[in-house]
Chain A
Amino acid sequence: MKFLGQAKNLISEIDIFWDNISRSALVFRTGMNNYLDGKTKRFQSDLKDIRKLESDTDVMRREIKYKLYSHMLIPESRGDVLGLLETTDNVVDSIKKVLLQFDIERPEIPDSMKDEFKELTQLSVNTVDEMVLASRAFFREISIVNDHINKVHYYEHEADKIEEDLKRKSFTSKAIKTLSWKVQLRYFVERLARVSDEAEAVCDRLSVYVIKRSF
C-alpha cells in the first residue's frame, strides 16, 4: 500500500506544479499592470514573487523527475511528462526574465502604447492559462487537451498581431524620438510576446504526446 501513497503524493506535487504556473501568469499580469501604471513598490513585490515561484517550480520539477524514476512510475510516458515539465519551466523563466528586465532597464512606455502593452500581456497570460488547462487535461482527460491547445494557438496568433503593431508604432511614432528608445521598445515588445511563444512551444510538444497516448 506504500506505493499507493507514493502515487497520491506525486499527483498532488504535479497539481501544485501547475498551480505555480497559473500563479506565475497572474503575477506576470499584475506586475506588468503595476509597472505600466507606475506603481513601483507593488511591481517590486511582484518581481520578488515571480523569483520565488520560478525557483519553487525548478525544485518541484526536479523532485517530480526524481520520484518518477526512483519509483519507476508511468514507464511508457515519463519521458514525455518530463519533457512537458521542462518546457513549461521555460515559460516561467521567460516571465521572470521579462519582469526582471523591466526592473533593470526601466523603459519608458509612451501613454499611447500602454493599453496595447497591457493587451499583449493579457494575451500572453491567456496562452499560459490555456496551456496549464491543456497540461492538466493531459493527465486526467486526454480527449479535451486539443480544445485548449487550439485556444493557445488562437491567443498566440493574436499576440503576434499586437506585437507587430507595437513594433511598427515604435518606429513610426513621432513621440519616440531616439533610435535607442525605439530599439528598446521593440526589445520589450518581443520579450512580452515570447511568453506566448514559449506557451505555444509547450503545446506543440503536448499535441505530439497526446497522439502517442491516445487510446
Chain B
Amino acid sequence: MDTILIFLSSGLFLGWSLGANDAANVFGTAVSTKMLKFKWAAIICSIFVILGAVIGGAGASETLGKLGSVNAIAGSFTVALAAGLTVFLMTRVKLPVSTSQAIVGAIIGWNFFSGFKTDISTLTKIVYTWVLCPILAAIFGFVLYKALIIYIRRSKIHMIRIDQYTRIGLIFVGAFGSYSLGANNIANVMGVFVPVSPFKSINIAGFTLSNTSILFFLGALAISLGVFTYSKKVMTTVGSDIFRISPLDAFIVVLSSSLVLFIFASEGLQALLISFGLPSFPLVPVSSSQAVVGAILGIAIGKGGKNINFGIMGKIGMGWVLTPFLSGVITFIMLFFMQNVFMQKVVL
C-alpha cells in the first residue's frame, strides 16, 4: 500500500497544484473583491470539486484513456510527475500553461516511449476541443453579458440589490464551477492511474464506490488540500492582477467558463444531445484558465471591444503547442531514467 501511495503521489501533487491555482478561476474574484470570505469559498469549492470528480469525472478520463492507456503504475507515476514538472517549469518562466495540455503531452510521450500508437482521431478531438474551449467561453461570456445587461436596464434594480444578487449568484456559480472543475479536470490528476488502479470497489450503505471513484475521490481530496493550503494567496492576487473586473463581470466569467467545463465533462448532457439527434461535445479535459480568459474576452467584446489585448490569444495558442511538446519530451526522458536507472517497470 505504501508503494502505491508513493506512486500515486505525483498525481496527488498535480491535484494539489490544480487546487492551488485553478480554484482561483472559480472563486478568485469573489474573494478578492470581498464579496465572499475565503473560508466559505474554500469549503464550497472543496465539497463541489469532490462531488464533480466522483460523480462526473469518468467521461473526460475515458478520452485520455483512449489517447494512451498507461499500463504500469510506475509509468503512470512518471507521466503525472512529468506533467507536474512541465506545469512547474512553464509557470516559473511565466508562460501560460494548462494541466490538461501537459498531461496530454505526457501521455503522448509515454506512447512514444512504449511504442504504442497514439490514436490520432482522439488527439484531433482533444486539440480541437482546446481551440473550441476559449472560443465557446467567449461566446457564452458575450451572450450572457448582453442578456444580463438588458435585464438589469429593463428591471431598474437598485445598485445595492444587484450587489446582493451578485453575491448569492457568485456562490451558486462558484459551486457549479467547482463541480465542473472536479468533473472535467480530475482526469488530468488521476486519469493516467485509472488503468492501473490498485483499489477495489467498496460498498458503503448500499452505495458501490468503484475503484476509479476511489481514485478520483483521493485526487479530489488533493485538489481540496491545494484549495485550503495555497489558493488564498492566488485568489487575493487575482483581483489586482489581469482580471480587474467587477463582481458582476466575475459572475458571468465564472458562469461561462463553468458551462464550458461542464459541457466537456458531462456524460449526461452528451447522452441528451445524442438522444435529440444533435451534435454532441467530446468529453475532454480543458483548461479552466483558458476558459476564463475566453469569457473575459467575450465580455470585453460585449462592452464595445476597446482595449482588448489580443496578444493573450497568441500566448494561449503558444501554450497549445509548447506545453504538450515540452511535457512529451520530459516524459520520454524521465521514463528512460525510471526504466534504466531506477529499474522500474514503466510499460507492461
A interface vs B, CB < 8 Å? Answer: 3-4, 7, 10-11, 14, 72-77, 81, 138-141, 143, 215
Contact = CB atoms under 8 A, between A and B. Distances in A.
A81 B157 CA distance: 16
B122 interface: no
Contact of A11 (B152, B156, B158, B248): B158
B164 A215 contact: no
B157 A140 contact: yes
B119 interface: no
A160 B252 CA distance: 47
Contact of A74 (B152, B153, B159, B303): B159
User: Nearest 5 CB-CB pairs, A to B?
Assistant: A215-B149, A74-B163, A139-B159, A7-B164, A140-B156
19 contacts: A4-B164, A7-B160, A7-B161, A11-B158, A11-B161, A14-B160, A73-B160, A73-B163, A74-B159, A74-B160, A75-B34, A75-B247, A76-B33, A81-B159, A139-B158, A139-B159, A140-B156, A141-B156, A215-B303
Contacts of A77: 159
Question: Which of A4, A74, A75, A215 neighbours the largest number of chain B CB atoms within 10 Å of its CB?
Answer: A215
B35 interface: yes
B152 A10 contact: no
Interface string B170-212: 0000000000000000000000000000000000000000000
Contacts of B149: 215
B246 interface: yes
Contacts of A72: 34-35
- Chain B, interface SS category: helix
A134 to B, nearest CB: 14
Interface residues of B, number: 19
B160 A141 contact: no
A140 B33 contact: no
B230 to A, nearest CB: 24
A64 to B, nearest CB: 10
Contacts of A75: 33-35, 247
B108 to A, nearest CB: 44
A22 B278 CA distance: 59
A7 B153 contact: no
B163 A141 contact: no
Nearest to A9: B160
A59 B156 CA distance: 28
Interface in B257-314: 303
A75 B248 CA distance: 11
Contacts of A11: 158, 160-161
Contacts of A4: 164
Contacts of B34: 72, 75
A47 to B, nearest CB: 34
B152 A3 contact: no
Nearest to B149: A215
Contacts of A139: 158-160
Nearest to A78: B163
Contacts of B157: 140
Nearest to A80: B159
